[in-house]
Amino acid sequence: MYPIENRSRGIMILDGLWDFMPDDGRADKEHWSSQFPKNCEKLYVPASYNDQREDRRYRADRMKVFYHKQVTIPRFYDGQRLVLRFDAVANDAAVYIDGMPVCSHKGGFLPFETEITGLVQPGEAFDLTVMADNTIDHKSFPVGNEEGTAFFGSDNAQVPAVREAKRWRGEINLPNFDFFNYCGINRHVRIYTTPKTYIDDITIVPLLETTPGRPDDPEKKTGVIRYQVDLKSTDPVIDPGEMPVLVELISREGQVLSSSSTPSGELVIENPVLWEPWPGDPYLYGLRVTCGEDEYTEEFGIRTVEVKDRQFLLNGKPFYFKGFGKHEDFYIRGRGVNELLNVKDISLLHWIGANSFRTSHYPYAEEMYRLCDREGIVIIDETPAVGIAAGGKADPYAIMPIKDYHKEILKDMIARDKNHPCVVMWSMGNEPDTENFPESAYDYWHELYEYTHHLDPQDRPVTLVCCQNDYTRDLITRTMDVVCLNRYYGWYNLSGDMEAACYAWNKELDFWEEQNKPVMVTEYGCDAIQGNHGVNGEMFTEEYQADYYRLLDEEFDKRAFMIGEQCWAFADFGTIQGVMRPDGNKKGVFTRERRPKLAAHFLKSRWENIPNYHYKS
């Protein structure tokens, strides 16, 4: 559960300057986990380390880095259960207290925690050391490019001197994805307290029952809140199953609407206020759980999600997705949690008339989901499974040992995000190879698809975001609840020829028209360099980008089965260096500092005239 402060729980947030040292091979020999070098640097946490100092090593190599902080927990926390929580450390982490390993974690986008009661004494200082490893390879998510081939353009591998230089350079940490591998303690580190007998988890499933009305008796809606509270105790004489519990349903105004004294059950509310995406009212209720000395209020919304008859129904009405794929990315902080930027981004989404985004290509910091719950922004929540492809030469499902890890990530992501009303669909991953080894792809993703449905208590729709490919060979995309297409007609292919791009899109859409599925475009876009202008459809100009969206959107509007458009990308963002990436990826509709490009004004005028519901009906 997200750490909160209230009358029974406290939080120490360990943001600020930490001691920092990249490991140059000495860490093991010199026992940095217990004796941190005195000649270290200082770095800010939470933030990626890569852009904090003018040191080339920070941006390039595969490396382990060490962080250290001396911490004292206040004496008044004595007697409480103490938990050390990392919201995310990229990519892999090992944690030590006074030199003793206390936990480790694989993957850079989900939280992990460990109880430290008894290990540390309130009132006495202890050394907290964290090792973060930025390795990306065939076992990691996102996936590393072990083949060492250029991700962008050609690497002239036929030139002997280039081949030799690559051999001389040796193994490097190349991404198999298009965003910078920003690493380190990217999200908050906290020590939080709970009483010894505590609320360990809350699961909420809001259902809506409709009683058809008669002319003299209008239709009635009943909200049924199915809930499950998990209680635990570290006190050996207490059986948490025997503890009395109080579960209360609270209105936004703070009124108790109904209550129960069982740890699982249902609460009923007549004519509930539904959670509606912006500009509707994203009304939030609270489920307040009290057990012994512990208390936790989980906010939630009453809304339903369902795919039916080629439509995506939100609260029973056909919803149209307008928005973006985006990144957690900003100057200096890298992928570090940035609540100020989140507020700005949501404000820009409102300004432009968008209602949704996809957390491409990994689960975002929890603060963003909490904000979207409040601001009525709809999220497609994606795992970090990006880059499952080996250039078509090898079957990635055979050479990458990732399936069990992928399942673990789905489990952890859904456990973390299951109660958010803003999350309406799960994306199991982005752009895997589904074309070259279609049967392997089908087996792999079908198993995960079933697993994802099984994991989600709210049973939201599940998808897999598919790469531009020979869609006739792809067997799995067409079986998803919503077909999500990333397409770059008019950019990476048919470059500069928007007429041909529209023709090609229509050819492909004829294919999808035949499949009995709702379809949305989850990526389409082109690079536009801010301030670069032209009148004759020149690529990289702001005009080309605006025309690209205008022309393609006209085509999408003709297809009733298309349930949404998400542009790539919300804002320009950092990537590795490459001949196709001048200072990063420039497909943003906003610049990296969040200034609108010309296309932003076109999209604003378009989206302000597209309602959330019934656009195509």
416 in contact with ligand GCB (CB under 6 A): no
Closest approach of Cβ 106 to ligand GCB, in Å? 22
Active site residue 447: no
382 in contact with ligand GCB (CB under 6 A): no
Pattern of binders to ligand GCB over 498-537, x per CB under 6 A?
-------------------------x--------------
Q: In the range 281-320, which residues lie near ligand GCB by CB under 6 A? A: none
3-state secondary structure at position 240: helix
Which residue, 568 or 570, is less far from ligand GCB as judged by CB?
Answer: 568
Burial (0-12, 13-18, 19+ Cβ within 10 Å), 286: middle
Amino acid at site 350 = H
Q: In the range 348-377, which residues lie near ligand GCB by CB under 6 A? A: 361
Which residue, 435 or 523, is less far from ligand GCB as judged by CB?
Answer: 523
User: What helix, strand, coil percent values describe the chain, rounded to 5?
Assistant: 20, 30, 45
Tokens of 272: 């509930």
Q: Looking at 431, 435, 543, 565, which residue is catalytic? A: 431
568 in contact with ligand GCB (CB under 6 A): yes
Give the integer Cα–Cα distance in Å for 52 and 50: 6
Give the integer Cα–Cα distance in Å for 556 and 558: 5
Q: Are 435 and 469 a contacting pair, CB within 8 Å? A: yes
Q: Are 357 and 380 a contacting pair, CB within 8 Å? A: yes
Closest approach of Cβ 581 to ligand GCB, in Å? 9
417 in contact with ligand GCB (CB under 6 A): no
Evaluate the omega torsion of the peptide bond into residue 263 and state whether it is cis, within 30 degrees of 0.
no
Pick from 587, 592, 597, 606 the residue near ligand GCB by CB under 6 A: 587
- Written as one string, the DSSP assignment of 562-605 is EEEEEEE-SB-B-----TT-TTSB---SB-TT--B-HHHHHHHH
Which residue, 179 or 449, is less far from ligand GCB as judged by CB?
Answer: 179
Q: Looking at 523, 542, 543, 565, which residue is catalytic? A: 523
Which residue, 64 or 587, is less far from ligand GCB as judged by CB?
Answer: 587
3-state secondary structure at position 214: strand
Closest approach of Cβ 523 to ligand GCB, in Å? 5
Comparing C-alpha atoms, which of 241, 206, 183, 220 is closest to residue 61?
183
Measured in whole angstroms, the distance separating CA 206 from the mean position of its chain's CA atoms is: 23
Measured in whole angstroms, the distance separating CA 336 from the mean position of its chain's CA atoms is: 13
Amino acid at site 399 = I
Give the integer Cα–Cα distance in Å for 328 and 574: 10
Closest approach of Cβ 168 to ligand GCB, in Å? 30
Closest approach of Cβ 222 to ligand GCB, in Å? 42
Whose tokens are 């420039």? That residue is: 586
Whose tokens are 């050390």? That residue is: 84
Which residue, 299 or 431, is less far from ligand GCB as judged by CB?
Answer: 431
Closest approach of Cβ 430 to ligand GCB, in Å? 5
Give the integer Cα–Cα distance in Å for 102 and 87: 16
**Residues with Cβ < 8 Å from 212, sequence gap 6 or more?**
219
Furthest C-alpha separation in the chain: 85
DSSP-assigned letter for residue 524 = -
Closest approach of Cβ 486 to ligand GCB, in Å? 4
Which residue, 19 or 433, is less far from ligand GCB as judged by CB?
Answer: 433
Q: Are 183 and 108 a contacting pair, CB within 8 Å? A: yes
Closest approach of Cβ 600 to ligand GCB, in Å? 17
Pick from 233, 356, 430, 436 the residue near ligand GCB by CB under 6 A: 430
Closest approach of Cβ 317 to ligand GCB, in Å? 30
Which residue, 524 or 607, is less far from ligand GCB as judged by CB?
Answer: 524
585 in contact with ligand GCB (CB under 6 A): yes
Number of residues that bind ligand GCB (CB under 6 A): 9
Q: Are 276 and 303 a contacting pair, CB within 8 Å? A: yes
Closest approach of Cβ 366 to ligand GCB, in Å? 23
Pick from 383, 436, 486, 566 the residue near ligand GCB by CB under 6 A: 486
Pick from 431, 435, 565, 572 the residue near ligand GCB by CB under 6 A: 431
List, edge to edge, every strand of the sheet that includes 81-86.
11-13, 189-194, 81-86, 112-115
Kindly calculate the radius of gyration of the chain based on its CA atoms and give it in whole angstroms: 25
Which residue, 127 or 542, is less far from ligand GCB as judged by CB?
Answer: 542
Pick from 51, 178, 328, 481 the residue near ligand GCB by CB under 6 A: 178
Q: Which residue is nearest to ligand GCB (CB)?
A: 178
3-state secondary structure at position 423: strand
Closest approach of Cβ 482 to ligand GCB, in Å? 17
**Residues with Cβ < 8 Å from 263, sequence gap 6 or more?**
228, 229, 230, 231, 245, 247
Which residue, 194 or 486, is less far from ligand GCB as judged by CB?
Answer: 486
Which residue, 231 or 402, is less far from ligand GCB as judged by CB?
Answer: 402
Which residue, 178 or 474, is less far from ligand GCB as judged by CB?
Answer: 178
Pattern of binders to ligand GCB over 62-91, x per CB under 6 A?
------------------------------
For β-strands 321-325 and 245-250, DSSP reports them as unpaired
Active site residue 523: yes
Tokens of 572: 């320009």
Burial (0-12, 13-18, 19+ Cβ within 10 Å), 18: buried
Comparing C-alpha atoms, which of 398, 404, 492 is closest to residue 436?
398
Give the integer Cα–Cα distance in Å for 437 and 34: 48
- Which residues of the chain form contacts with ligand GCB (CB under 6 A)? 178, 361, 430-431, 486, 523, 568, 585, 587
| Residue numbers annotated as active site | 431, 523
